[in-house]
Amino acid sequence: MPERTLVIGDIHGALKALEQVLDRASVTPDDKLVFLGDYVDGWSDAPGVLDLLIQLNDSHECVFIRGNHDQLFLEWLQKRQDNELWLMHGGRSTVEAYEDVAEEKTQLHREFLENLDNYHLDRNNRLYVHAGFTNLHGVTREYFTDMLWWDRSLWEMALAMDPGLTPEDPMYPDRLQHYKEIFIGHTPTIRIGETTPVNKATIWNMDTGAAYKSPLTLMDVDSKQFWQSDNANELYPDEKGRNAN
């Protein structure tokens, strides 16, 4: 059994923020690390982020979830066709960062991205998924796999819910009945003016805006204690991240 299960929000190429938050949480090989995806697209250290994740996988129990930006970058690596919309929303920084990366290392990173998990269920029936899911019966019945890293309706539903609803109420959403807790990223909490993890119903949103002018967050899923990096823009003062988009 791991000492702690620690969930980490969207990194978006901010290696300095990742190193900082791992240090501040005093992470050890006894801890299980669950990364919620979006390792690339934003700050300039995407290759370094993937290097560190691969290293951590050798020394820790790790789970790496697939994010939409990871999938877009993987498709670029596979086809080498520019997706202009993706380039505008963070992809350009990743493409530029890989211009000086050796092909051997790029291939290693491609294999890492190909083997990401679409979701993770732990022994306590806690779900970890990048974005959400649309099927009323849960992630195992999702018809549209891409929704696991693109969906926003699950989070928007939780935000709009009457906080007084209980699971026994017939109006309580079916999608929230299957799991003890759901940990997501994808939709930055800064959209609702928050830079710390936000809990709505059974959902914890861990994307605290590290792609922008906010910190990266790591949280103990049991105690809900969390640690944060400095604001990513302060760690990369000469870059814009995704703030230009």
Residue ranges covered by each domain of the chain: 5-235
pLDDT range class, residue 128, cuts 50, 70, 90: very high
Query: Crossing angle of helices 68-79/103-114, nearest 10°?
Result: 130
Task: For 5-235, give the CATH class.
Answer: alpha beta
For 22-39, write each residue's pLDDT tens digit.
999 999 999 999 999 999
Averaged pLDDT score across all residues of the chain: 96
For 80-107, write each residue's pLDDT tens digit.
888 888 998 999 999 999 999 999 999 9
This prediction's pTM: 0.97
Going from the C-alpha of 7 to that of each of 24, 34, 145, 232, the distances in angstroms are 14, 5, 22, 18
CB 32 within 8 A of CB 63: yes
Question: What's the CA gap between 69 and 56, in Å, rounded?
Answer: 21
Identify the CA nearest to 134 among candidates 183, 188, 174, 179. Answer: 174
Question: So what's the pLDDT on residue 208?
Answer: 98
